[in-house]
Amino acid sequence: MSHFHHILNSANKPLEFILLTILGSCFILLGLVFDAEAQVSVTGIVTDELENSVPAANVLLLNSADSTLVKGNITNETGHYEFQQIMPGSYLLSVSIIGYQPQITEPFDVNNAPVLTDTIMLYTSLEEMDEISVSAQRPFFEKKIDRLVVNVQQSITSSGNSALELLEKSPGIQVNRQSGSISMSGKAGVRVMINDKIVRLPVDAVLQMLDGMSAANIEQIELISTPPARYEAEGNAGLINIVMIERQDLGSNGTIGTNLAYNAAETLGGNLNYNYRGRKLAYFLNYSINYDRTEQNILNNRFLVQNSFTEQIREDQKREPTTNVQNARMGLEYSIGSKTTAGVLVSGYRRHWDQQALSNNFNNLGPDSTLIFDMGIRERNIWRNGMINASIDHSFNENQNLSFDFDYLHYINENPSVYQNEFIEGDRSLYQAGGIDVEKETPINIWVGRVDYTFQPSSTFSIETGVKGTLSEFVNDVSVKNNFDGSWEIDDRFTSDANLSENIGAAYLSGSWKPSEQLQMNAGLRYEYTDSYLSSTDEKGLIDREYGKFFPTVFISKDLSDDNRIGFSYNRRITRPTFNDMAPFVFFMSPRTFLSGTPSLQPAISDGVTMDLQLRSLLISLQYTHTKDEIGAFQPEVNSESNELTYTAKNLDYLRTYAATLSYQVFPTSWWQVQSNLSGRYQLFQTAHLQNNISDEIFGLNINITNTITLPKEFAFEVSGYYNSKSVWGIMQFRPQGSLNIGVQKKVGDGRGTLRLSANDILYTDVWKVDSDVPSANLDSSMRLDWHRQQISLTFSWNFGNNSLRAVNVDSGSEEEQNRVN
């Protein structure tokens, strides 16, 4: 991989030119394909021998010449199926579903007009058949009415990746590993869910957890821009739902897999998921373990103007961390009777991050004054958590349902660190502490209770209502000592013992109405009341805040025709400061560069509107969001007296985001599938924390293209790439970055085994470069963060048991607070 890096550097070509040339070539090729041949639709209906519609039947479109698969689909509730963008040729259909005899049609021709096939009739099987295993190929990216779905298992180059790496490649998503935050379409405040349940961890801890979660256990990633009222209003940008692999029907099944990768150091991983379902009892287990020794390099360069002299501070840090991550989720569901189900969910997470690093520091303090020293760093960051949920779900009848949830969550974070400075050259009198010792321990407890009720008085109208209460408390104990000439002294600036209690009560009411087959309307109103109190040993009532707010949501969808749709939505959301943002803490990047908390942070409120248009396989989405008091994570601030640089979360005055997303899928040939997603955004913001606040605007672009080629003998090949243009995160500006990936896949063992070999970031362009230039605040800094994304990976997975096992659906009412722990 280093050879690719050498070629890139010697060519001396900008990142934008390389990636746009590659991606632009794909667009030109696709345009030529569109001009060459027209594409039409093929539709029809599947019934049984009594002429009743058959939903969920597998329908495969095959080439009549050699019976190779062109496309696959599943019939809807009325037995209808549809294939879009079919090129002229001769085809036949294969239809199957368990309990019926499979049917294969006579060949038919497709020309330049839509084709309506004859009704396909299935006959009940008269003998016990072996299970028919037919699956339709789904696109890697799939747009639904309120979300964009990433079908993870359809991507070859996702093999060996973590869940976090998959997010970084998803359309419109930006992951900031340094500040521990995620944005969607240029907006921060994203909540992360697993199986429709919000993860109650701080965002930085969520990133760490996802970084250790194997993609082999993930079925889909759903990017939800307009969540309904039943979800908490937390998260200005929306929700990201990670759907774990689950199955259907009775019996047991599972998947076991392993991964070996290399990116500057070895990465090893293993994963297991097991599911069982009986007549009354069902349970599941998901477990993954990951060991990672990937190196990291951070280069921070800043300039300070002092008495007409520009002081330069350069910090070059080489990290060699070792990361061990384990994730486990276990759930049990039991049918008490025909109408009542009880469930228990237990999950746990442990991440042990241990690094030794060397930071080379160069300070040009004056015309004749230079200070050079090394900082030896030993840091550990240990996260442990456990959660238990108990739930009961009761159906009064087919139209009424009542559910209860109670959760208890416990977390503990330990972050001991030692920094030892070694003087090399310069005036020792300018030298600060000889060493720094940090001890940090943070235990957190959360209790959550929730009741939800749904009622559907008719087939066209339903309502949902519920209440929820959350009690949270944590202690953040930080001790910082400096070593002056062999004597350790407490540093009062950073030493603290903070306590936070936060209580949130919520109630919601939402309704769904479908006045016609073409029109659907959803509306909801949620009210949340928050009571927060933060104190430290030195000051009581650092935060003493009580407030209540309403959060409306409206969604309207109109079908223009069978495959054309237009939709409109409005919602209001809130982003509360995370516990880590507010609590006093310190993390040293160097003796004069810190990370710290901001107790005075205010919650951010956003109002957003979205309009979606679907024209066959072309999907267009337009969004506008206005956020008051936007929380900008990891914002740099210079102390004018000590010239120390602190990165901390700050409120902006406002952030306005205009965004557009274009998504389409094409099949240039029967063996070539191309999925493209383009997202553009225009943002305006104004700061609120600087002495002379600034306003700025920026345009950004995200491109994500995946080419999948089906080869003979169960082989497949994939080429994918993404490009992110310049973007902002408060007053920080991120330079363009991107990645080009290739992979090959081979199915073995009648399709139960999958072997994948992939190479990611083969041009070595997925490197962070961040600038902050605010002359009025004496701020001029640049940072380069290299996480060594260039990687070669070999993975193998094997499915065992009944591959159509029905999902174990164990719900939890506490998941929506986990992002705010710490």
- Considering 163-172, 534-543, 573-582, 786-795, the range whose residues carry the highest mean pLDDT is 786-795
**Residue 16 within a domain:** no
Examine the domain organization and report whether 482 and 338 are in the same domain: yes
Structural domain ending residue among the three candidates 71, 87, 122: 122
pLDDT tens string 418-467: 888 887 877 655 555 568 888 989 899 999 999 999 998 888 899 999 99
Count of residues making up the chain: 822
Examine the domain organization and report whether 185 and 318 are in the same domain: no
Structural domain count, the chain: 3
pTM confidence score? 0.70
What pLDDT band is residue 126 in, cutting at 50, 70 and 90? very low
In this prediction, residue 264 carries a pLDDT of 83
Examine the domain organization and report whether 279 and 404 are in the same domain: yes
In this prediction, residue 141 carries a pLDDT of 59
Mean pLDDT taken over the chain? 80
Examine the domain organization and report whether 370 and 262 are in the same domain: yes
- CATH number of the domain to which 295 belongs: 2.40.170.20
Q: How far is CA 162 from CA 180, 198, 216, 654, in A?
A: 16, 19, 9, 34
Examine the domain organization and report whether 741 and 709 are in the same domain: yes
pLDDT tens string 809-821: 454 555 455 545 5
Phi-psi map region of 452: left, alpha, beta (phi>0 left; psi -120 to 50 alpha): beta
Question: HSE of 229 in the Cβ direction (CA atoms, 13 Å)?
Answer: 28
Structural domain ending residue among the three candidates 195, 211, 244: 244
Question: Which one is predicted more confidently, 690 or 247?
Answer: 690
Mean pLDDT of 743-759: 86
Instruction: Answer whether residue 531 shows pLDDT above 90.
Output: yes
Mean pLDDT of 248-272: 81
- DSSP codes joined into one string, 108-173: EEE-SS-EEPPPEEE-B-SS--PPP---PPPPSEEE-SSEEEEEGGG-STTTT-BHHHHHHTSTTE
What pLDDT band is residue 32 in, cutting at 50, 70 and 90? very low
In this prediction, residue 562 carries a pLDDT of 67
CB atoms within 10 A of CB 396: 11
**Residue 17 within a domain:** no
Strand partners, 164: none
In this prediction, residue 187 carries a pLDDT of 61
Q: Report the amino acid identity of residue 130.
A: D
Q: H or E segment at 270? A: strand 266-277
Mean pLDDT of 266-271: 89
**Residue 337 within a domain:** yes
Instruction: Answer whether residue 171 shows pLDDT above 80.
Output: no
Examine the domain organization and report whether 92 and 220 are in the same domain: no
Examine the domain organization and report whether 175 and 314 are in the same domain: no
Instruction: Answer whether residue 249 shows pLDDT above 50.
Output: no
Examine the domain organization and report whether 644 and 606 are in the same domain: yes
Q: What angle do CA 627, 222, 211 make, to 5 degrees?
A: 90
Q: Is 428 exposed, middle or buried (0-12, 13-18, 19+ CB in 10 A)?
A: exposed
Structural domain ending residue among the three candidates 67, 90, 122: 122
- CATH number of the domain to which 165 belongs: 2.170.130.10
What pLDDT band is residue 507 in, cutting at 50, 70 and 90? very high
Phi-psi map region of 264: left, alpha, beta (phi>0 left; psi -120 to 50 alpha): left
Domain that holds residue 177: 138-244
3 state SS of 33: helix
3 state SS of 212: coil
Please name the residues in contact with 209: beta carbons below 8 A apart, sequence gap of 6 or more: 199, 201, 325, 327, 349, 351, 383
Q: Is 246 exposed, middle or buried (0-12, 13-18, 19+ CB in 10 A)?
A: middle
In this prediction, residue 285 carries a pLDDT of 87
